[in-house]
Amino acid sequence: MGEQNEFDNAVRAKILSHALPHIQNYNGKVVVVKYGGNAMTEPGLQESVMKDIALLTLVGVKVVLVHGGGPELDKELKAIGKKTEKIDGLRVTDEETASIAQMVLAGKVNKDLVRLLQNVGAKAIGLCGLDGGMIKTKQLDPKLGFVGEIEDIDIKPIETVFNAGYVPVISTVGADDEGNVYNINADSAAAAIAGWLKAECLILMTNTPGVLKDVNDEDSLYSVLTSADLEGMIEDGSLEGGMIPKAICTIRSLEMGVKRVFIIDGRVKQALLIELLTDEGLGTQVTIN
């Protein structure tokens, strides 16, 4: 309560009022949020993200929340004593591991997020790529086993949930035509979902301030880039390792018709509201060149 009182009503009303043009910008638009990193693992940040989504929903933004859940999966694998190896940072996934990933992502992480959204007054329904056969998948690479690449998305389950007034929360597992289950990289899945939905924007929540000129200098942030810039940076090797797959997803979703992609720092409290509803934003905004 003290916190709320440090600004008087007039200040608060003025700030609400300044959000008007930003709200008008996003009202009725689809925004796909790839949720992950600290924003998902730190309880304080987590609740703040849920409130941001509740607020965005109320001001008419059609938020789709897409999540992975690597840390929770690691914990479960460790608890049952199952060892997995990684190739180039991607987990080699046997059938049992894919099934465990489905269980942890769609049953634990997903439904926990649904519950948290409901707790802050939003209405949410959790889906995974198996529901309604939403995400058709094929094998990415035989060496990796049941790691999937998206072939096709049926957006009807998402629209069903939207039209009934719920926030769709989506776990990124899918199946092929034979019914084999695959784990899918959440960034790629979010980018594909944003593309299929012709989203206004895709927001990738990360643990860095955005795309950096100098990976060791958090102040060297690029505020604005084009997809061509990103392609150049991939080619000339100036992107750090973890940023490369995010850059690729970014480029793909822009090519599929997403208007802009924000790579933002999920460690900043209320990063979503700052990015979407204030004058400056905080991470890197990428548009098609």
Nearest CA to 115 out of 213, 180, 47 is that of: 47
Please say which residue, 84 or 226, places its beta carbon nearer to a second copy: 84
Q: How far is the CB of 127 from a second copy (least distance, A)?
A: 7
Q: How far is the CB of 78 from a second copy (least distance, A)?
A: 9
Please say which residue, 129 or 145, places its beta carbon nearer to a second copy: 129
Concatenate the DSSP letters of all residues of 1-16 into one string: -HHHHTS-HHHHHHHH
Please say which residue, 19 or 244, places its beta carbon nearer to a second copy: 19
Q: How far is the CB of 179 from a second copy (least distance, A)?
A: 4
Report the C-alpha gap between 120 and 118 in whole angstroms. 5
Please say which residue, 115 or 198, places its beta carbon nearer to a second copy: 115
Please say which residue, 24 or 220, places its beta carbon nearer to a second copy: 24
Tokens 């989506």 belong to 170
Q: How far is the CB of 86 from a second copy (least distance, A)?
A: 22
* Through-space distance between the first and last CA atoms of the chain, rounded to whole angstroms: 47
Q: How far is the CB of 269 from a second copy (least distance, A)?
A: 7
Please say which residue, 55 or 261, places its beta carbon nearer to a second copy: 55
Please say which residue, 230 or 282, places its beta carbon nearer to a second copy: 282
Q: How far is the CB of 24 from a second copy (least distance, A)?
A: 5
Q: How far is the CB of 175 from a second copy (least distance, A)?
A: 6
The token duo for 118 is: 């409901």
Asked if 45 and 269 touch (Cβ cutoff 8 Å), the reply is yes
Please say which residue, 98 or 202, places its beta carbon nearer to a second copy: 98
What is the widest separation between alpha-carbon atoms in the chain? 61
Q: How far is the CB of 62 from a second copy (least distance, A)?
A: 13
